Structure 1
C-alpha cells in the first residue's frame, strides 16, 4: 500500500465496492423493493432540524449492550444515493445525534452491508469526519462493532491507520455474522434492517452454515443458589427470605447515600468493564457472605505448618499481582484459573469440569480475601514477598 496516492486509494476502494455489489447481486432486487416501501423504523417529524437526513433512519438508538451502555447503530443500507444526500449535512447530523450520548459511555454498531459505489461518501469526507469526531466523541466510545466487513474496510483502515491511536484501534471489533453480536449486546433489542438480515442469511448459505433462525441454542445453565444477575426479581425474592429489594441494589444505594451524594457528575460515567464483571461475579458467587470466607480460613488453617507457610507466601504475592489488575489484567479470578489446579490436586487423577469451578472459586477467594484469611495465623520463620 506504500507509495499510493489518495486518488489510487479512492480507485481501489471503488473497485472493492463494485466487487461487493457483484457478489451480492442476488440480493439487490429485494433491497430496492424494500427501500421503496420503508425508510426505517421510526417516524421523523418534518420539524426536525435535520429532517432531510434523519428521515432516512441511517443512525438510530437500538438498546443497550451487556453492560447497560447505550448502543447506536449506523446502517449503510439506508444511505440514499449521493446525489440525494448532502454529505456535509450528514456529518453535522451525526454529531448532533451523538451529542445526546457522548457524555456517557456508549457503543456503536456499524452495519456495513449496503454501502456501494452509488451511496458511498468520498475519501475526503471520511477524513474530515474522522477529524471532526474529536476526543469528545472518542473518549466515551467503548466499542465499535463492524458487522459484515469486506476488503473495502481493510483499504479504509490502511488509509487511516497512521491517524488512529492504538487505544482507539483496540475498540474496533469485526464481526462476520449477526449472531456474533449476541456475545456483546442485548441482541433481541436490536432493530436490524431486513436487508442486513437477508444478507447475513445469504452469507451463511454460501458458507454452508445453517440460517440464524434454525441455529439451536443450548439451554441456559441453572443459576447458582447465590445468583444476583441474570435472574428474575421473583427468583431473588425467593432466595433472599422474601426481601423485595435485591441485595445489590440495597448495598449500592446504602453506599452512595453514605459517600456519593456530593460526588460531582454522579452516574455520568460508568465503571470499567473489568470492574463491573468482577463485582457481578462476586455477587453471583455470594462472597458478600462472610461465612464463605470464614470457611476458607478454617480449611487453610488446618494445613501443616510448612504447607501453610508456602501457600501464604504464594497467595500474598498473587494478591499483590491482583491489586495491579488495571495494568496487568490479572484479577483474582484470572489468577485462580492459572494456579487452581497447580495448588489443589485431585486424588482421583484428572479433575472433571464440575470440580474445576469450585477449585477456581476457592483459590480466587484466597487471593481476593488474603488479609482476612491469612492474618490470624503466622508460623515461626515464615517470610512474605
Structure 2
C-alpha cells in the first residue's frame, strides 16, 4: 500500500542519534516494495546535520527514492502537501516551530491556525454533510461523487489489482474536487486511471463533516472486540439499523459495491479484510481528534463484517426509495 512518512527532526540529540552504519544497514534491510511504495518523505525542521547526512547517503540511495524527500522548514508548510489536521504533532515540536517562526520577525508569532471555514457553495460536494447534499442535489439520496465513482469503478476497476490501495497525484485530486464543488462535470474516462476515481471516493468519505457511520455509534463499534465471534454479525446489524435512514441507505449502497469488489479478490487482491483496512478509518472516526491505534482493530473488524456479510447486515431494513449499486 502507498504510504507517506512525516519525520519530525527536532529532538535528535547525541544520546539518541543513531550511527551512520546503523542507518545504512536499516535502509538496506527494507524490502524494495517499501521503498517503491513510499509516496513522500517529509523532513520537518531539518538541520545542517540532516542535510549533511543526506549528502553522505546519496551514493547508496536510488535516484527515484531521493526525489521523494522534501524538506519542510515550518509546520505551516505541511498544509500544502497533506491533511495537517490528521497528524498528531508532539507538543515539543509545536513549541519549537513557534520559536523558529518568532526568530523570523520581531516578537513572538501566534500559533498557526486554520483559516475560518467559508460557507459552502450551493454546488459543494466535499466537506459537507449528507443532509446538505440531499437538499442541494434535488433530493438525490446517493451523493453524486459516490454514484459516479462507483459506476465508473464497477465498469473499469473491479479486477484492477490493488484497487483502493494505490494513490494518485495530490494536485489532480484537488483539481477534480474543485470541479465537483463548482458543479462542473467530471469524466473519469479522460484520466485513464481507475485509481483516480478510487482516491476520489475515499477522499469524499473522509471529508464528510460527520462520518458516514456517524459519531453516535463510535463507542459501540469499539466494543465489537468484546463480543463473541458468533454474535458479531448480529451486533453489527443492530448498530447499522440504529443509523439515520439517509446514512443507512448510502452505507448499504457503498458496502454492496465493496462486497462486489471483494468477490473479485482473486484478481484485485482486495479481500473483505483488505478493504476494511482501507475503508474503516474513512467510515468512522471520533468526534474529537484522530483514530487511535487501539481503535483501528475494532473499526477494521466491524468494517470487514459489513463487507463480508452485507446481505445479512442490511437484510431486514429496507427504507422506501432505496437504491442498490
- Report the aligned-residue RMSD: 2.8
The DSSP-based 3-state class of the residue aligned with 1:107 is strand
- Equivalent position of 1:263 in the other structure: 160
Number of aligned residue pairs: 189
* Aligned with residue 254 of structure 1, among 115, 130, 151: 151
For residues 154 and 111 of structure 1, the distance between their equivalents in structure 2, rounded to whole angstroms, comes to 14
Contact 2:179 2:186 in 1 (8 A): no
SS at match of 1:174: strand
Please tell me whether the aligned partners of residues 180 and 186 of structure 2 are also in contact (alpha carbons under 8 angstroms): no
Distance of 1:220 and 1:285 partners within structure 2: 17
Give the superposition deviation at 1:220: 4.3
Instruction: Provide the secondary structure at the position in 2 that maps to 1:109.
Output: strand
Describe the superposition over 1:257-289 as per-residue Cα deviations: whole angstroms up to 9, x where unpaired. 233333333323233435433432332333328
Matched, 1:113 2:10: yes
Residues 1:287 and 2:184 aligned together:
yes
Tell me the secondary structure at the aligned position of residue 60 of structure 2. Answer: coil
1: distance between equivalents of 2:44 and 2:69? 11
Distance 1:276 1:187, change over 3 A: closer
Deviations 1:71-104 (A, max 9, x none): xxxxxxxxxxxxxxxxxxxxxxxxxxxxxxxxx1
Would you say 1:231 and 2:96 are equivalent positions?
no
Any stretches of 5+ residues in structure 2 without a counterpart?
193-325
* Distance (Å, rounded) in 2 between the aligned partners of 1:289 and 1:278: 10
| CA displacement 1:156-192 (0-9 Å, x = unmatched) | 0110122333322221111112222222233233222
Asked whether 1:191 is paired with 2:127, we answer no
Structure 1 residue 142 corresponds to structure 2 residue 142: no
- Structure number with bigger Rg: 1
Partner of 1:273: 170
Gap runs ≥5 in structure 1: 1-103, 291-321, 325-385
Q: Secondary structure at the residue paired with 2:173? A: helix
Aligned partners of 1:121 and 1:278: how far apart in 2? Answer: 41
CA distance in 2 between counterparts of 1:256 and 1:211 reads: 47
Q: Which structure has more RCO (C-alpha within 8 Å, separation ≥ 6)?
A: 2
CA distance in 2, matches of 1:178, 1:118: 25
Contact 1:179 1:212 in 2 (8 A): no
| SS of 2:146 mapped into structure 1 | helix
Q: Which of residues 43, 54, 64 in structure 2 aligns to 1:157? A: 54
SS at match of 1:288: coil
What's the TM-score once normalised by structure 1's chain length?
0.44
- C-alpha displacement of 1:233: 2.7
Query: What residue number does 1:45 align with?
Result: none
1:239-250 to structure 2, matched below 5 A, reads 239-250=136-147
Aligned equivalents of 1:142 and 1:265: distance in 2?
A: 15
Look up the SS of the partner of 1:173 in the other structure.
Answer: strand
CA distance in 2, matches of 1:196, 1:210: 16
Residue aligning to 2:109:
211
Q: Which residue of 1 aligns with 2:230?
A: none
